[in-house]
Structure 1
Amino acid sequence: MLDPRKLRLLRELARRGTIAAVAEAVMFTPSAVSQQLSALEREAGVPLLERTGRTVTLTPAGRLLVEHAQTVLEELERASAALAAVRGGPSGPVRIGAFPTAARALMPAALAELARACPELEPMVSEIDPADVSGALRAGELDVALVHEYDFVPAEADPALATEPLFAEPMYLTGRAALAEARDDPWITGKPGTLCHAMTIRACQAAGFEPRVRHQVDDFDTVLAFAAAGQGVALVPRLAALAPPPGVTLSELPLSRRTLAAFRGGYGGHPAIGAAVAAFRTAITHLPL
C-alpha cells in the first residue's frame, strides 16, 4: 500500500527539484525526506529516483507515480471535504492566507461576516505573498488563500490547486497620464521575484521601453509615499490607492489586477472553504471597485 504522505513528498520533489527544497517546504529535515522517499520506493517495488552525487531526479516510474499521485491526493481531499459536510456546518479552525492589500481592504469585513454566519468557525489569517501561496497550500499550512494575478503576469498553473475568481480592479499610474510618458522617469517597483515587479517590467516593455528602476518596495503605502516625495512613478492597484497622499496624481490604465480564492484541488466542497469564499464574496460588495 502506498502511503499518501510519502506521495505528497514525491509530488513536491517533482515540483521543487531538490530534497532540500522539499524539506524546507514541509518543515522536515532533508534526511527525513530522503528516508520517506526511500521507504516509498520500497513500497512501490521499483526505483523512483536516480541519485547522482547530490542530484536527485525522478525515473520514468517516478514521473508516472507523480501523475497518479495527483489524482489520489485530490480524491483524498474530496473525501475529507465530504466527511466534513456530513458532520454538519462549518466549525473549527480554517487557515486563511491573504496578500497585504486584501488583508487590509477585504479581510476585516470577511471576518465579520464569518463571525455572523458561522460562529463555530475559527478563522486564522496569515499575511503571505501570492508567490508563496502554492507551497503553503500544498504543504497543508493554509486551507484557502486570496491570490492575485496581473495583466502580463497570469497565475502560474498548479495542478494541485483549484481557484475561484472573485473580483478585478483597475491599475493606476502615478504622476503621468500614460505609460509612454514615463519612459524617462525613475521607477518604483516591487522587489524582483514578486508578481508586482514582473507586471511593471512587462507593462513597460509592452509600451516600448525598459523602466529605469530606482527603488524596489513591496508595500504600496510606501510606494505612494515615495511617489509623493518625487522619487519616481509606479503602478498601483485601485485598492492600494483609495487614499493617496497629497500631491500624488493617479491615472487609470487599461490594465487590471484580478483576485482569486485558491485551495487544494478536491477541497472546495469542504464547508469551511465554502463559508470562507462566501464571506469573501459578501465583503467584496462593500469594496469601492
Structure 2
Amino acid sequence: MDTRLLSSFLTVLRVGGITAAAAELGFVQSTVTAHIQALERLVGTPLLDRHPGGVSPTRAGSLLAEHAQRILDLEERMLTELTATAAEPTGPVRVCAPESVCAYRLAPLLPEVRTRFPDVSLSLFPADTRTALTALADRRADLALMLEPSVRPPGVDLVDLGGQRLSLVAAATTGLPRRRPITPAELADADVLLLEKGCSYSDELGALIAATDPTTAPPRFGGIETLKRCVAAGLGVTLLPTPRVTDELAAALVVELRTPAGRARQDPWLAAPSTRWRSPAVQAVHAILHETVPSVP
C-alpha cells in the first residue's frame, strides 16, 4: 500500500474536507479524491460520509484511521532508523508551545540544541493547549509545551516542569490596593488587559472577570511586550509571568498587586505522544527541554 494514501486520508479527516486537505498537502483536489477512492476500492467499502459541511468518517473510516496512524508511525520509525547515524541523533524535531513560551523559554535553548546536536533540525511553532494536543495526535508535532492543561489527555505523556510565579501588575500611578489581595469585583471594575486566547493564565483571568461581570470584555493583545507597555502607560492591569516584568518592576514603571487566591502560578508541562515511537533526535530534544526549561527564567 502507498502510505501517501493514508496520509491524505488522515489529513482529510483532520481538516474536514478534501479541498482543504489538498491545499494543505500541496496537491490538486483531484489527487486527494483519487487517493480516497483508491483506499475505498482497496478495502471494499466507503470510508467517508459526504455532507454540506464537509466529510466525516464512516465506521470503517474510523477504524482505518486508527490503523493508519500506527502504520505511518512505523514507517517514520523505519526510515529514521535506516537513515540515522548510529553515533548522533539526526533529523527534524517539531515543538509547539504558547507564543510567549516559544519566545522567552524555548528560543534561548536553540543554540544549545545546535551545539550539542548539529544534525538535529529543531522547529518551533506557536500553539495553545488544544492546538498542541491536536498537532501531537496528527503527527504535525513531536513535542509540546503546555501551560496548566485542564485534563490529563489520553495518549499523551506529561512531565511537570515546575511552576513559575505570576504577577498582577498595574501602572505605578494605580489607585488599586497593594497591601491586600485584590478582589474579583475590583478587577472587574478595573481595565484588565489580556493576551490572546489560548494563554492559560490570561484565559483564567478573563474567566474570573466574566464570572464577576458578564458584560465586561477585556481587550486582548498579541504579545507580552505590547501588553507591558500598555500597562506602564496606565491603560490597565494584567497578569504575566514574574520574570517577564522584573525589569519594569525594578524601574518602577509598574507595581505588583496581590492576586486573588489561587492565581499566582503557572505550571508548564512537557507533552509527548505516549504510543508513538520517539526517534533519537526527539529523545535528545525531550531530554534537553526536561533538563533546561525549568531553569530558564
Cα deviations by residue, 1:128-183 (Å, 9 ceiling, x for unpaired)? 233544565566655434x3233xx6269475x65544333233322364351202
Give the Cα–Cα distance (whole angstroms) in 2 for the partners of residues 82 and 162 of structure 1.
23
The two structures, once aligned, show a CA RMSD in angstroms of 3.5
Partner of 1:107: 106
> Structure 1 pair 233/270, CA: closer, same or farther in 2 (3 Å)?
same
Q: Give 1:174's aligned amino acid.
A: V
Which is higher, the Rg of structure 1 or of structure 2?
Answer: 2
The answer as to whether partners of 1:148 and 1:155 remain within 8 angstroms in 2 is no
Partner of 2:173: none
Give the Cα–Cα distance (whole angstroms) in 2 for the partners of residues 249 and 98 of structure 1.
28
> Structure 1 pair 278/20, CA: closer, same or farther in 2 (3 Å)?
same
Residue 221 (str. 1) matches residue 225 (str. 2): yes
Q: Matched residues, percent identical?
A: 25
Q: Give the number of equivalent residue pairs.
A: 281
Partner of 2:162: 167
Q: What is the TM-score with the length of structure 2 in the denominator?
A: 0.75
> Structure 1 pair 197/109, CA: closer, same or farther in 2 (3 Å)?
closer
Q: Give 1:226's aligned amino acid.
A: C
Deviation at 1:184, TM superposition (A): 1.0
Unaligned runs of 5+ in 2: 171-175
Cα deviations by residue, 1:45-73 (Å, 9 ceiling, x for unpaired)? 11111224563232221122223333434
The within-5 A match list for 1:192-271 is 192=197, 195=200, 198-205=203-210, 208-210=212-214, 212-244=216-248, 246-250=252-256, 251=258, 254-255=262-263, 256-263=265-272, 266-267=275-276, 269-271=278-280
The within-5 A match list for 1:38-187 is 38-52=37-51, 55-79=54-78, 87-118=86-117, 120-130=118-128, 132-134=131-133, 142-145=141-144, 147-150=145-148, 154=150, 157=153, 163-175=158-170, 177-180=181-184, 181-187=186-192
Judging by fraction of residues, say which structure has more strand: 1
Deviation at 1:31, TM superposition (A): 3.6
> Structure 1 pair 211/227, CA: closer, same or farther in 2 (3 Å)?
farther
Structure 1, 52-61 or 215-224: larger mean CA deviation? 52-61
Residue 279 (str. 1) matches residue 284 (str. 2): no
Cα deviations by residue, 1:160-214 (Å, 9 ceiling, x for unpaired)? x6554433323332236435120212221233566565333223346x3437234
Give the Cα–Cα distance (whole angstroms) in 2 for the partners of residues 242 and 23 of structure 1.
47
Q: Give 2:219's aligned amino acid.
A: H
Deviation at 1:90, TM superposition (A): 0.9
Deviation at 1:89, TM superposition (A): 2.1
